[in-house]
Amino acid sequence: MASLLGTSSSAAAAILASTPLSSRSCKPAVFSLFPSSGQSQGRKFYGGIRVPVKKGRSQFHVAISNVATEINLLKNRVRNLLEESQRPVYPFAAIVGQDEMKLCLLLNVIDPKIGGVMIMGDRGTGKSTTVRSLVDLLPEIKVISGDPFNSDPDDQEVMSAEVRDKLRSGQQLPISRTKINMVDLPLGATEDRVCGTIDIEKALTEGVKAFEPGLLAKANRGILYVDEVNLLDDHLVDVLLDSAASGWNTVEREGISISHPARFILIGSGNPEEGELRPQLLDRFGMHAQVGTVRDAELRVKIVEERARFDKNPKEFRESYKAEQEKLQNQIDSARNALSAVTIDHDLRVKISKVCAELNVDGLRGDIVTNRAARALAALKGRDKVTPEDIATVIPNCLRHRLRKDPLESIDSGVLVVEKFYEVFA
């Protein structure tokens, strides 16, 4: 039964154990077929089931015992049990302040091709709490059932080689819908845990490429979150750089090579006091959010009170924000569906590139990300055309971390971007 429902056997066993014996019937499912009208005249047997038959045109109303209903009830109970057993997540709608960070996260959910967000700020400013609260708002995607790489049935670029070969041979693979994954990358993770491992013994003895997927496989088409990313080991940083650049992860062991798609939204957070991030990795993040400590006394009191309410009764606290969470989730779904129809005028594109050129931004990532973020913001606001105000909102977050740092410069790089924007767009 547990495999039927796609849930863990332990959860299903716990529910069955808690179900009274009287409610669990050992009788087989009863299938009774009746004619829709009139009296039966004659009987026939189909597969051992005696069926009343009416002469002429036979019309049967099939009344199947409530097996399907019982399965659905059990499935709902398993889902509720799993949700209750998980650590309660602070609601995204309950986050007070930090509008810049929240906007960057929402825009990346609307358009994952923006390329992720780097969040830097003081200790205790809610960086990790905000990122993890995003999990409730993540939309559902179509995946190949049972595939460890979350392969997209409609896009071969994010499809594993095994699934692609099966589709080419004409096999019909089951498709299901699941929420976008958010994978935490711990600082102490080994390279094998991140990339995956190959069972060399099985490969040599049985000639089979036995691959144990890692965190990058699980993060495909999802979010990879690295807390304290500036403290990550250099060799893991190189692995993330390669996968983020190519969208694929390749594992090579003893002459055996396996590749799988690894397209993910990279979200990192850290405290600048603990060390700077390598420029190569910093440039891979689509957007950069600067988080500061709240100075307003009233706002600080509100944050403390909300946190105390959550710690006292997480379930009741989450329930109080359920309506706001659903409203925000619907807004995100609408924006994702409308994103392809959002346009940006050519003269606005030229001005964006002029800002990037005059700020000496290396490469073209700044231009691309600014265009994408502006379109995502317009979709979030329910418009089908980008305005200069949209660009003004997102361009500091898209370019701030791409400027070459001058050690003698005392002005924040985001201020320089804003000044150049108004100079060009004036």
Tell me the binding residues for ATP. 121-128
Nearest residue to 393 (alpha-carbon basis) of 282, 287, 269, 291? 287
In the numeric block, which tokens belong to residue 401? 């971390």
Nearest residue to 130 (alpha-carbon basis) of 196, 225, 30? 225
Report how far residue 363's alpha carbon sits from residue 366's, in angstroms, rounded to the nearest whole number.
Answer: 7
The one-letter code for the residue type at 413 is S
- How close are the terminal C-alpha atoms of the chain, in Å? 66
- 365 labelled catalytic: yes
**Which residue ranges make up the annotated binding site?**
121-128
Catalytic residue, chosen from 77, 263, 318, 365, is 365
- Tell me the three-class secondary structure of the chain, residue by residue: CHHHHCCCHHHHHHHHHHCCHHHCCCCCCCEEEEECCCCCCCEEEECCEEEECCCCCCCEEEEECCHHHHHHHHHHHHHHHHHHHCCCCCCHHHCCCCHHHHHHHHHHHHCHHHCCEEEEECCCCCHHHHHHHHHHHCCEEEEECCCCCCCCCCCHHHCCHHHHHHHHCCCCCCEEEEECCEEECCCCCCHHHHHEEECHHHHHHHCCCCEEECHHHHCCCEEEEEECHHHCCHHHHHHHHHHHHHCEEEEEECCEEEEEECCEEEEEEECHHHCCCCHHHHCCCCEEEEECCCCCHHHHHHHHHHHHHHHHCHHHHHHHCHHHHHHHHHHHHHHHHHHHHCECCHHHHHHHHHHHHHCCCCCCHHHHHHHHHHHHHHHHCCCCECCHHHHHHHHHHHHHHHCCCCCCCCCCHHHHHHHHHHHHHC
Beta partners for residue 117, in sequence order: 267, 287
Residue positions counted in the chain: 426
Catalytic positions: 365
